[in-house]
Amino acid sequence: MQSTQIRALEESSLAVIGDRAVAVDALIDLVRRAETSVTLLVPPAGDALRLVTDALRALAGRHPDDARVRVLAPPELAADARLAGLTTLLDGVEIRLAAGVRHAAAVIDQRVALVRAGEATVFGAEASLVRAPSVVRALYDILMTAWYRAAPLTRYQRLQECLRRDSGARILRMLGEGYTDEVAARELDISVRTYRRRVADIMRLLGARSRFQAGLYAAGAGLLRA
């Protein structure tokens, strides 16, 4: 029955899936058949990571050669071993963290998208399957804008370690609030030279070319709350 429903969905440019099991099967089937790219938005709730793991395992079982896989998740999942474990399923899986990720979405080959606006599970009831090219492209562009502002998982983990020591979190907040080097150094009771060196270390880890850019990247990755 579910396979029949999924085949029917393939003929629709826009369809609402009311059955959670069908939505899950649709996700796994779409990811499994990906040819060039899979972009996944993973919320921090329910069985999101388990379903994403199942979907990528299905793709891996087909031995794809060129499919690029991107996973965008919230900082809340940074410590979940299952997130990092996604990289063991397929070569080249990329994981980045962005603040504010609360919904689930998948864009496959930039031609079809599966979206769910709820937070309870990743792809449950009221998932929408979209094949309209302009809508899929718009969703993909939104995800890519968030992607390029997000922090790679490994870099995020190094940044967290940096922020936990040497007053890193306070320095990051001071950057965001526009403190001058002299005032910030005085607040931290360190030399201006030491403060500037630590700022340079944080900027390097963030991949930022300016202090303003560092603040944007840190906010986008949820690091200002660290």
Q: What is the CATH number of the domain that holds 161?
A: 1.10.10.10
pLDDT-derived band at 1, boundaries 50, 70, 90: very low
- Identify whether residues 163 and 142 lie together within a single domain: no
- Identify whether residues 138 and 166 lie together within a single domain: no
| Mean pLDDT, rounded, of the chain | 84
pLDDT-derived band at 53, boundaries 50, 70, 90: very high
Q: Is the pLDDT of residue 213 over 50?
A: yes
Question: What is d(CA 73, CA 29) in angstroms, rounded to the nearest whole number?
Answer: 21
- Identify whether residues 92 and 48 lie together within a single domain: yes
pLDDT-derived band at 98, boundaries 50, 70, 90: confident
- Identify whether residues 111 and 37 lie together within a single domain: yes
pLDDT-derived band at 198, boundaries 50, 70, 90: confident
Mean pLDDT, to the nearest integer, of 66-81?
A: 90
- Identify whether residues 38 and 114 lie together within a single domain: yes
Q: Is the pLDDT of residue 61 over 70?
A: yes
- Identify whether residues 165 and 132 lie together within a single domain: no
Greater confidence (21 vs 31) lies with: 31
Q: Is the pLDDT of residue 95 over 60?
A: yes
Q: Is the pLDDT of residue 4 over 70?
A: no
- Identify whether residues 176 and 204 lie together within a single domain: yes
Mean pLDDT, to the nearest integer, of 56-76?
A: 89
Report the percent of the chain where pLDDT is more than 70: 88
Q: Judging by DSSP bridges, how do beta strands 151-152 and 112-116 pair with one another?
A: unpaired
- Identify whether residues 145 and 133 lie together within a single domain: yes
pLDDT-derived band at 120, boundaries 50, 70, 90: very low
- Identify whether residues 128 and 174 lie together within a single domain: no
Q: Is the pLDDT of residue 226 over 70?
A: no
Q: Is the pLDDT of residue 211 over 50?
A: yes
**Per-residue model confidence (pLDDT) at position 117:** 65
Tell me how many domains the chain contains. Answer: 2
Q: Which domain holds residue 199?
A: 153-225
Q: Is the pLDDT of residue 106 over 90?
A: yes
Angle at 101 between CA 222 and CA 145, to 5 degrees: 85
